[in-house]
Amino acid sequence: MINNISVLVDNDSWILPYADKLVSKLNQLGKSAKLIRCHEDVEDGDVCFFLGCIKIAKETFLNKNKYNLVVHESDLPKGKGFAPVAWQILDGKDEIPVCLIEACNEVDSGDIWLSDVLRLSGTELSAEWREMQGNISIELALRFVCEYPTIKASKQIGNSTSYPRRRPNDSKIDLDKNFRDLIPLLRVVDNKDYPAFFEYNGCKYKLEISKYE
């Protein structure tokens, strides 16, 4: 049985409210769950969920819990690495696999415990698909706790590919493109942290997008 649970978010990620929600739901189930903000504060327990983490956990921290689990949004082993939802939206995908995997020394290479699918209509902007992504992360974590020990992990099978980290310059608009072709990019930019922008006659312009209400 799973009782003592840590939920780790090691940066000021957008997923923090969902991590708080997960901790609340776990405690409502009678579990002892805590939100942890740095690896050094992880306590001995049954499971640690790593949500939106950017640091690779050292073996000493992984040894504190029986299970260390990460949510990753791709058809593993394809699409390891950074910002998999954004990259797949840019590739035109509207059904994105979401996996709950075991954390290990090699990034996004652990056994797969559970999976789901993030289904998009093709109209969602970043705040909307992030909300969907956050809620699926909560659901997978709750499923693991509630269904354990009846579930079993499976090995990743197939050729491995990886996405690079997205940089601010990845939000640059190519003015020579048809506007329709720019929509995928506009769906993944963040108006605050990495807004869309373009350069014209030596000036740099920021372009913000929101749905008309």
Task: Print burial letters for 73-89: b (CB count within 10 Å at least 16), e (below 16).
Answer: bbbbbebbbebbbbbbb
Q: What average pLDDT does this structure show over 182-206?
A: 96
- Decide if pLDDT at 57 tops 90: no
pLDDT grade for 139, boundaries at 50, 70 and 90: very high
pLDDT of residue 166: 93
* Helices (runs of H) and strands (runs of E) counted in the chain: 5, 10
The residue among 97 and 56 whose pLDDT is bigger is 97
Q: How far apart, in whole angstroms, are the C-alpha atoms of residue 54 and residue 57?
A: 9
Q: How far apart are CA 20 and CA 51, in angstroms?
A: 11
Q: What is the pLDDT of residue 115?
A: 97
The mean pLDDT value of the chain amounts to: 96
Least confident of 24-28, 53-57, 86-90, 167-171: 53-57
Half-sphere exposure for 84 (CA within 13 Å, toward CB): 22
Q: Is 52 exposed, middle or buried (0-12, 13-18, 19+ CB in 10 A)?
A: buried
